[in-house]
């Protein structure tokens, strides 16, 4: 592997750096986008039952503020429980926008790496080809086997660019779809909370 890196030249280091960043984002998002950390299964029934029995207490708000992402959204909405339905809904929407921004963190960077990696690989190939054909007394003036070897070395960059781009794009699409699904679920549960609190819906 080290031989390939040395043979591919300095442009491949750009792809190596990009691959390390992409791997870090993939691992971080896999950890952060766990459903239990964002939308706990029994959160809404538990909150609704406690509000019905004890009302909105400071202890409840504190626990929600330190809980999962949806719990923090609920805390914002319940702080406006004495306001009208519209005001409470607007506060939940504002908190939801902040939550969406948190869910999408680093995804733009991952998508950029997925898009640019093939271009970076092509750039490395072009640089390699320029060095091959531009060197005096190089492979062009030598035997065909040396020329073929030089071209294969230049193509290492293109191959590595695709190796970085393909999994990056797969995980980018996967996480985008996962975020969209989580956002829809959070919106649905937030609306249910508003309706339950204002007596328009049963649990």
* pLDDT for residue 135: 59
| Domains in the chain: boundaries | 2-197
User: Helix, strand, coil: what percent of the chain each, to 5?
Assistant: 80, 0, 20
Which residue intervals of the chain are DSSP H helices? 2-8, 11-32, 35-38, 43-54, 58-65, 69-78, 85-103, 107-134, 144-197
pLDDT one-digit tens code per residue, 103-161: 999 999 999 999 999 999 998 888 878 777 765 555 555 556 666 666 777 788 889 99
Does pLDDT of 201 surpass 70?
Answer: no
Residue 73 binned pLDDT confidence (cut-offs 50, 70, 90): very high
Q: Which residue has the tokens 């029934």?
A: 45
DSSP at 200:
S
Residues 129 and 123: beta-carbon distance below 8 Å: no
């Amino acid at each position: 592997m080290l031989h390939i890196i040395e043979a591919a030249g300095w442009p491949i280091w750009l792809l190596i750096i990009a691959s390390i960043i992409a791997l870090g984002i993939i691992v971080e998002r896999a950890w952060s986008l766990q459903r239990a950390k964002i939308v706990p299964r029994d959160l809404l029934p538990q909150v609704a039952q406690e509000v019905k029995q004890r009302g909105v207490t400071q202890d409840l708000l504190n626990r929600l503020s330190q809980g999962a992402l949806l719990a923090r959204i609920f805390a914002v909405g319940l702080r406006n429980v004495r306001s009208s339905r519209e005001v409470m809904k607007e506060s939940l929407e504002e908190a939801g926008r902040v939550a969406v921004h948190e869910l999408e963190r680093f995804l733009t960077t991952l998508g950029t790496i997925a898009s640019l990696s093939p271009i970076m690989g092509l750039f490395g190939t072009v640089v390699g080809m320029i060095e091959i054909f531009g060197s005096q007394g190089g492979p062009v003036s030598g035997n065909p086997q040396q020329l073929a070897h030089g071209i294969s070395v230049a193509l290492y960059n293109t191959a590595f660019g695709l190796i970085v781009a393909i999994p990056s794009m797969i995980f980018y699409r996967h996480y985008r779809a996962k975020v969209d699904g989580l956002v829809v679920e959070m919106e649905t549960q937030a609306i249910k909370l508003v309706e339950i609190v204002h007596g328009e819906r049963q649990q």
